[in-house]
Amino acid sequence: MGKVKLVAVSALALSLLAGCSTPSTDKAASTDKGTTDKASTEKVTITYWQYSYPQKVSLIKKLIPEFQKLYPNITVETQDFPYDQYNQKVTAAMNAKNGPEVMNLFYGWLPQYVQQGYLQPIPEGFMSTADIDKYYIPMVKDSKIDGKYYALPTAVRSLALFYNKDLFKKAGLDPNSPPKTWDDLISQAQKMTIYKDGKLEQEGFAPDVGGQGYHVFEEVMLRQWGVTPFSSDNKKVQWNSSPQGLAAFQYFMDMFTKAKIGEQNFNTDYETAFKSGKAGMIIDGSFAIQNLKKDTAAEWGVTTLPTKDKGGMESNFGSYWVHGIAKGVSGAKLDASQKFIKFLISAETQKTWLKEVGELPAAASLSDDASITADPIYGPFVKGLKAAHATYFVNEKDERQAIIDGTNKILLNNAPVEQTFNELIKKQQEIRDQYFSQVK
């Protein structure tokens, strides 16, 4: 199996691809290429699995009746499972040969899913590789294994900085001047951080190493400090390829051990702290917008991620969830699964997805949509996509847990930063070595 090549989205590529011809994106567009009339009319039931993200679960339940109006012969049943149980459920079901026909998965899981034989390539007769290349923004276009697509997204994600304008005002800060650099962020966060009798009562910036903080360090800070996280073949961890790697990690840890602008799990978690007005700033994806709109009483804004130096290099983390067809699905069920995926990736569905879920359209034709790029909330995320890097994960769960464990040693037990950094690199390298030793 070859590698999944994941690259940054360039502004030029976005603008060029926006004008490329694409396959029809109408929800009722035909997807019958290469199928028989019998497959198109036979009554069939397929199952769609996803993890239990409330907005997505709700939207899928709304979309299925729309799809079934277009294809009355197809019934779609849906199941969702908690995030931390999802992969185990898929593994158990696939091994028992009673898994779903279509499954939703994080792009970072693709290498493992393909290696374990859970997915089949997107059939060329359904949507050719060339058509897929033209249809999506580059971050998606290059997510292939051995030159093949195994799953397709409806939407993509980037990160941005959310800030509480009310807390800015109370701290004497200009609510219309969010931080431009990391030093700015620390300075502003310190003015919003409140301790009473040594106990944190309000944090200026909420850390979340197990969530977006992991990606902020790996794909944002390392690159801004001049370090490319992995080798071009993704086999070697390069965090320590120059002294700037340790410098970036030291800075990341100092934000909380020395500047003391926030604490892990304060007020339950970073998003809860922000919603309740107990955190001045957080970094999150656009998928958080709907929850924040619903549950945050304070006035808040969104801006692009800070840079190391004023006017310096911008970087971001890009990601997405994809819809794939299980290996072994064939005949009428394959035809129905293709139709359902075509419906889910249509431009119309992508626009609905943005409104209901908050994730950005993945289609190149929508990348320059003025109604999105000029939006004060969504605009910073679209801009972030242009500097985004989608990490090549080989075992996303273990890679994430390694950095959680390493940073907790420092944040909770005052472990030496340099020693912990070197141990973390060793662990990350072991994870990659194990994966690539099994790849043919």
DSSP string, 107-167: GGGHHHHHHTT-B-PPPTTTS-HHHHHHHB-HHHHT--BTTB--EEESEEB-EEEEEEHHH
- Confidence band (pLDDT; 50, 70, 90) for 10? very low
Predicted local confidence at residue 18, as pLDDT: 36
423-427 LR contacts (CB < 8 Å, sep 24+) = 424/239, 425/237, 425/239, 425/240, 427/402
> Which pLDDT score is estimated for 248?
98
Residue 98 pLDDT exceeds 50: yes
Is residue 178 a contact partner of residue 163, using CB atoms and an 8 Å limit?
yes
pLDDT cut 90: percent of the chain above it: 77
Distance in angstroms (rounded) separating the CA atoms of residues 314 and 300: 23
CA dist 118 and 92 (Å) reads: 11
CB atoms under 10 Å from CB of 328, counted, come to 14
Q: How far, in Å, CA of 341 to CA of 25, rounded?
A: 11
Question: Over the stretch 252-289, which tens digit does the pLDDT of each residue have?
Answer: 999 999 999 999 889 999 999 999 999 999 999 988 99
Beta-bridge partner residues of 23 = none
Is pLDDT of 439 > 90?
A: no
Mean pLDDT of 158-174: 98
Beta bridge partners of 78: 48
Q: If you average pLDDT over residues 167-193, what whole number do you get?
A: 98
Give me 424's structure tokens.
Answer: 């973390």
The mean pLDDT value for 203-221 works out to: 94
What distance in Å separates the CA atoms of residue 280 and residue 419, rounded to the nearest whole number? 32
Greatest Cα pair distance, the chain, in angstroms, is: 75
The pLDDT, as a whole number, for residue 39 is 52
- Residue 15: the pLDDT is 35
Residue 35 has pLDDT above 70, yes or no: no
Close Cβ partners of 236 (under 8 Å, ≥ 6 residues apart): 230, 429, 432
Q: Is the pLDDT of residue 31 over 90?
A: no
Residue range 159-315+394-437 forms a domain whose CATH class is: alpha beta
Q: What is the pLDDT of residue 146?
A: 82
Backbone phi and psi for residue 152, each to the nearest 5 degrees, phi listed first: -130, 140
Query: Region 30-37: what's the mean pLDDT?
Result: 42
**Beta pairing class for 102-106 and 44-51:** parallel
Higher pLDDT, 377 or 139: 377
Domain positions in the chain are: 44-158+318-389, 159-315+394-437
User: Which residues in 249-261 are b (16+ Cβ under 10 Å) and which e?
Assistant: bebbbebbeebbb
pLDDT at 205 (0 to 100): 98
Quote the pTM value: 0.82
Confidence of residue 12 (pLDDT cuts 50, 70, 90): very low
Choice between 5 and 214, residue whose per-residue pLDDT is larger: 214
pLDDT reading at 27 higher than 70? no
Nearest one of 156, 219, 221, 246 to 393, comparing CA atoms: 219
CATH superfamily, domain 44-158+318-389, is Periplasmic binding protein-like II (3.40.190.10)
pLDDT of amino acid 42: 82
Do 159-315+394-437 and 44-158+318-389 have the same topology in CATH? yes
For β-strands 44-51 and 74-81, DSSP reports them as parallel
Pairwise CA distance, residues 340 & 395, whole Å: 28
Q: What is the predicted pLDDT for the residue at 142? A: 61
In contact, 134 and 20? CB cutoff 8 Å: yes
What is the end-to-end Cα distance of the chain in Å, rounded? 5
Burial (Cβ within 10 Å: 0-12, 13-18, ≥19) of residue 413: exposed
Mean pLDDT of the chain: 89
69 backbone dihedrals φ, ψ, rounded to 5°: -70, -35
Query: 374-415 pLDDT, tens per residue?
Result: 999 999 999 998 889 989 898 988 999 999 999 999 999 999
Helix ranges, 345-416 (H): 347-356, 370-373, 379-385, 396-413
State how far Cα 217 lies from the chain centre: 15
DSSP 297: -
Rounded Cα gap, residues 294 and 271, in angstroms: 12
Each residue's pLDDT tens digit, 186-210: 999 999 999 999 999 999 999 889 8
